Structure 1
Amino acid sequence: MVDGSCAEGFAPLRDLLASNLADGIDAGAAVAVVHDGELVVDLWGGEARPGVPWRADTVVMTWSVTKVMAALTVLVLADRGIVDLDQRVAHYWPEFGAHGKDGVLVRHLLSHTSGVPGWSRPVTVEDLLAGARAADWLADEEPWCAPGGRSAYQIVDHGHLLDGLVRRAAGRPLADVFREDVAGPFGADFMIGVPEEEQHRCADLIAPPPSGVDYSQLPPDSFLLRTMANPLLVPAVCNTAAWRRGAVGSVGGHGNARGVAQVQAVVSHGGEYAGRRLLQETTIERILDVQADGPDQVLLQAVTFGIGFGLPTPSAPAVPGGRTCWWSGYGGAVVVNALDSRTTVAYTPNRMASHLLASPRTDAYLRTAFSCVDRL
């Protein structure tokens, strides 16, 4: 039931994936580990769709794991001097300075402290897929909260904010810079926008069970309600060809655990992986600069944000401490970069769990992977 390769010492991770597939906890999934420069775990199994096996090249939507791919793209531009993390966004994107946003810095966009976690106007899925139009609306948005203060998770608009910046600073869309300058050099299988000829490789998402959260108890002006449902993204929408083609850099990325780990390993390995240097170590260190620490105004959970990534926090207990950066996607996908042990762990399922930052299934994969690393 499980295919792929697994180095000696990581058998417990293979056994966990096999057990979860057999029990139906996972329908189809992949898990990968890059450790000290080597892809030591590259496993997959189950079904991509009913009757269609999950193969080596199957990809699945990873929800907010996409955000750290988009953030890495901006960090690459910063490393090259094309953007400055401490510069005003309006320096590159003048329209964004409207309505008191002139003081929003590039690092505020990356750390979810921009004060613009969503759109005030009604937004449709078609608007998201239009790309530049939805970003232009954000430029004209009034801040929902003070920039540079408490985080307000940019749950859906994060990719549009970064795309608006990248288009103006680099002259290319975010998805193109990611494909050509970030994933491309490593041959990594992760896409922000799936071409028509690659769509047959996509696994279908399976909706999670009800979360048990009574959203009717939240006030109407709750940031969570104003962002999560504007627009509401459900698997029935995200399994369509139109959505998969779209380059939504907050939640719309598609990849497998191997591809996620191979892109992100550049972070856990000091900026260089597979013989290619993508970032200087000074840029990596900026990721670990705490930008916000405390209850997030959208997620309603305590979160610690560095620049572009989450940092260790009690609300994600399986993420190891130390010099670690990570992020997770709705439903359970995750990537963790542990710089101290030169390790990246990635997990990409198609059966979604009730999961925002942590859940028992994802936590088990992380704990098992890092316990294997600790025993090496």
Structure 2
Amino acid sequence: MSRPVPQIEGHCDVRFSTVRTAFEENFRERGELGAAVTVQAGGETVVDLWGGWADAAGTRPWQRDTLVNVWSTTKGPTALCAHILADRGLLDLDAPVASYWPEFAAAGKDTLPVRHLLSHRAGLAGLREPHTLAELYDWELTTGRLAATEPWWEPGTRSGYHAMTYGFLVGEVVRRITGLLPGEFLRQEVTGPGGVDFTIGLPEKEAGRAAELVHPPAAADSEQATVFSQLQPAALAALVNPVVTAADANTPEWRAAEIPAAGGHGTARAVAALYGIVASGGLLGERRVLSAGAAERVREGQGACHDLVLGAGFRYETEAALGLWLSGPNGSYGPNPRAVGHDGFGGSFGLADPEAGVSLGYVMNRMGPHISDDPRKMALVEAVYRAL
């Protein structure tokens, strides 16, 4: 059923009018509430659009500087922290995690290399013991439990999406090397100097700019029961220990917490800029963040396989690079199989395609039911590549 299209603000180069059309169609045909999309091509911002409502009631228009929680799209900026340290010779991706985080050697993890953390191959997709949302907000408790736990599978042999644990694992390595949590490291090294409107966690002073997340429609109880009955223990641990909803993510407690796998807040402009570091060979504007070689290493595939957590419905056959996902044969990030990106629960995403010289950021507040490849996302990706 078609809906009226709200006032769309911003600018769009004529060459990329297909993107504006797709963005409008997301409102008209795909249930969009409030959203923004930014495309950078050849170092220029060619699309920067926003529209709709920042709240479920439709009383706050989405503004140019509206911030929103982007869930797992946060994983790209978190991985960037590790790549910066590796580029400086402070982190060896093939060294054991325990060489930086000694307690991590417990339960047979003494030789597990850092690259397995970045590529969801560490076997630590979730904790074995019950872990509440309040406990997730406790950095020391969560990282301590991860250090002590036994992997769900032999590290390096399989892939299983580390939905929440990813940020604590990569982030604690960053903290052990720098003394800074990843959010502060990112601010000092990248977003602050680069003027990028993105934070891991949301400062209280910025709460007035935050969009209200609207949770996707609930599945019927019978359908939900069927899904959960098919999940393996590692998948249950990854996805529901603890359960986090849109309502939780709208609270001051979530916004204040350091959740580097899912707690990033930013604009589409910021997401496009951060993913654009990979697309531009390491540059953020004119400032070099990574060497060209380090930017290319982000795209180093770690082997395609069936994901133990998300199953066959997730990009059919996945291949994680070092912190992002390769587009692969499914075209999740466009027709270039070596383009990379990351989706956030409900629809947001960042994309980087160095061959095309393109990066893209999309953020929204009405969450869809998809872990990846939301129809709104795919419409925007297809529209960008039609314009090139």
TM range (shorter): over 0.9
The aligned counterpart of 1:92 is 100
Query: CA 1:6–1:295 in 2, change beyond 3 Å: closer, same or farther?
Result: same
- The answer to whether the 8 A contact 1:205-1:350 is kept is yes
Which segments of 5 or more consecutive residues in structure 1 lack a partner in the other structure? none
**Which residue does the alignment assign to 1:224?**
235
Alignment partner of 1:48: what SS? coil
CA contact (8 A) 2:76 2:323 kept: yes
Q: Deviations over 1:281-303 (max 9, x none)?
A: 11122122211311011111321
Q: Aligned pair 1:44/2:56, yes or no?
A: no
Cα distance change of structure 1 residues 166 and 318 upon mapping to structure 2, 3 Å threshold = closer
- Is the 2:324–2:340 Cα contact (8 Å) retained in structure 1? yes
- List, as ranges, runs of 4+ consecutive aligned residues in structure 1 with deviation greater than 6 Å: none
2:275–2:341 CA contact under 8 A, matched in 1 = no
**1:316 Cα offset (Å):** 5.1
Q: Following the alignment from structure 1 to structure 2, what is the Cα–Cα distance between the partners of residues 188 and 332?
A: 21
SS of the residue corresponding to residue 89 of structure 2 reads coil
Maintained 8 Å contact 1:186/1:262: no
Query: What corresponds to 2:266 in structure 1?
Result: 255
- Using the TM superposition, give the Cα deviation of residue 22 of structure 1 relative to its aligned residue in structure 2, in angstroms: 4.0
Aligned to 2:301: 290
From 148, 155, 164, give the equivalent of 1:156: 164
From 8, 15, 37, give the equivalent of 1:31: 37
Aligned to 2:18: 12
The CA distance in 2 between the partners of 1:247 and 1:315, in whole Å, is 33
Partner of 2:347 in structure 1? 332
Counterpart residue number, 1:275:
286
Cα 1:233–1:134 shift into 2, 3 Å:
same
Higher mean alpha-carbon deviation, 23-32 vs 43-52, is at: 23-32
Given that 1:270 and 1:284 are in contact with CA atoms closer than 8 Å, whether structure 2 keeps it comes out as: yes
The alpha-carbon distance between structure 1 residues 216 and 268, as it changes in their structure 2 partners (threshold 3 A), is closer
Distance 1:210 1:74 in 2: 36
Equivalent in the alignment of 1:75: 83
Shift of 1:210: 3.8
Q: CA 1:271 to 1:371, structure 2 compared with 1: closer, same or farther past 3 Å?
A: same
Does structure 1 conserve the Cα–Cα contact (< 8 Å) formed by 2:40 and 2:276?
Answer: yes
Q: Which runs of 5+ in 2 are unaligned?
A: 1-6
Alpha-carbon distance in structure 1 between the residues aligned to 2:44 and 2:139: 37
Q: Which residue of 2 aligns with 1:179?
A: 187
Q: Does 1:120 align with 2:128?
A: yes
Give, in angstroms, the shift of residue 216 of structure 1.
Answer: 3.9
Which 10-residue stretch deviates more, 227-236 or 176-185? 176-185
Cα distance in 1 between the residues matched to 2:190 and 2:153: 32
Does the 8 Å CA contact 2:334/2:385 hold for their aligned counterparts? no
Label 1:117 to 1:336 Cα distance change in 2 as closer, same or farther (>3 A). same
Q: What are the residue-to-residue correspondences of 1:125-136 with 2, within 5 Å?
A: 125-136=133-144
The Cα offsets for residues 13-32 of structure 1, whole Å up to 9 and x where unpaired, read as 11222232245621000000
Structure 1 residue 308 corresponds to structure 2 residue 316: no
2:143–2:169 contact (8 Å) kept in structure 1? yes
* C-alpha contact (below 8 Å) 1:315/1:357 kept by paired residues: no
Q: AA paired with 1:358?
A: D
User: 2:4 corresponds to which residue?
Assistant: none
Superposed displacement of residue 273, structure 1? 2.8
What is the percent sequence identity of the aligned residues? 37
**Alignment of structure 1 residues 322-361 onto 2, 5 Å:** 322-361=337-376
Shift of 1:315: 4.8
Q: Distance in 1 between matches of 2:114 and 2:255?
A: 28
Encode CA deviations 1:153-173: one digit per residue, 9 max, x unaligned.
111111111121111111111
SS at structure 2 position matched to 1:53: coil
Q: Distance in 1 between matches of 2:94 and 2:335?
A: 28
Give SS of 2:137's match.
Answer: helix
- Give aligned pairs, total: 372
Tell me by how many angstroms 1:75 deviates.
0.6
| 8 Å CA contact retained: 1:315, 1:358 | no
After TM superposition, the score normalised by the length of structure 1 is 0.95
Query: Quick one: distance in 2 between partners of 1:156 and 1:331?
Result: 15
- Residue 222 of structure 1 deviates from its aligned partner by 3.0
Preserved CA contact (<8 Å) 2:130 2:242: yes
